[in-house]
């Protein structure tokens, strides 16, 4: 289990919305994610294991689904390569997340190549943002991490 830091130490409450049964759509997914600049339009399922990622993108179970930092992963190659081009995103590109709680639009602020062991992007935040993860092709020790903030 990953500690998402929901307690915070700055004295400010971090944003966090837990996944509850009433947030699922009838198809078993939690959200739809769109990134027009790279042609992504994918459903987001709970969890980042084999089954959710075979269907679409996966929501990190210990992170928020709405307020604060929403963290999502997907494959970068193969038949389910939803995030194959996220490393080509640029600052200012738009990401849209739709859940039963509403629709939020985010603007990309950074694209980073990080170590697989770096979980800092999963930390809860006070502001609304989305963090996207995928593997780096042929470099199993690394991941691409894209951060985008609500606009």
Asked if residue 55 is part of any domain, the answer here is yes
Q: What is the pLDDT of residues 36-63, one digit of tens each?
A: 999 999 999 999 999 999 999 999 999 9
Ranges of the chain with pLDDT below 70: 1-12
pLDDT at 149: 99
pTM (predicted TM-score): 0.90
- CATH number of residue 130's parent domain: 2.40.260.10
Asked if residue 12 is part of any domain, the answer here is no
Asked if residue 1 is part of any domain, the answer here is no
* Nearby residues of 47 by Cβ (< 8 Å), 6 or more positions away: 58, 59, 61
Distances (CA, A) of 129 to 22, 27, 70, 103: 22, 25, 6, 13
Asked if residue 11 is part of any domain, the answer here is no
Asked if residue 4 is part of any domain, the answer here is no
Give the structural domain span for 106.
Answer: 21-150
Distances (CA, A) of 89 to 5, 52, 83, 85, 142: 27, 24, 11, 7, 17
């Amino acid at each position: 289990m990953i500690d998402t830091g929901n307690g915070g130490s700055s004295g400010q409450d971090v944003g966090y919305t837990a996944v509850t049964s009433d947030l699922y759509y009838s198809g078993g997914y939690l959200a739809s994610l769109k990134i027009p600049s790279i042609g992504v339009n994918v459903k987001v399922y709970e969890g980042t294991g084999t089954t959710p990622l075979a269907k679409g993108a996966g929501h990190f179970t210990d992170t928020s689904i709405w307020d604060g930092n929403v963290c999502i992963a997907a494959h970068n190659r193969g038949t389910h390569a939803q995030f194959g081009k996220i490393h080509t995103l640029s600052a200012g590109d738009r990401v849209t997340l739709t859940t039963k709680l509403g629709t939020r639009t985010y603007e990309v602020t950074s694209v980073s190549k990080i170590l697989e062991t770096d979980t800092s992007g999963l930390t809860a935040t006070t502001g609304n943002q989305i963090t996207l993860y995928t593997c780096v092709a042929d470099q199993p020790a690394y991941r691409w991490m894209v951060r985008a903030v609500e606009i």
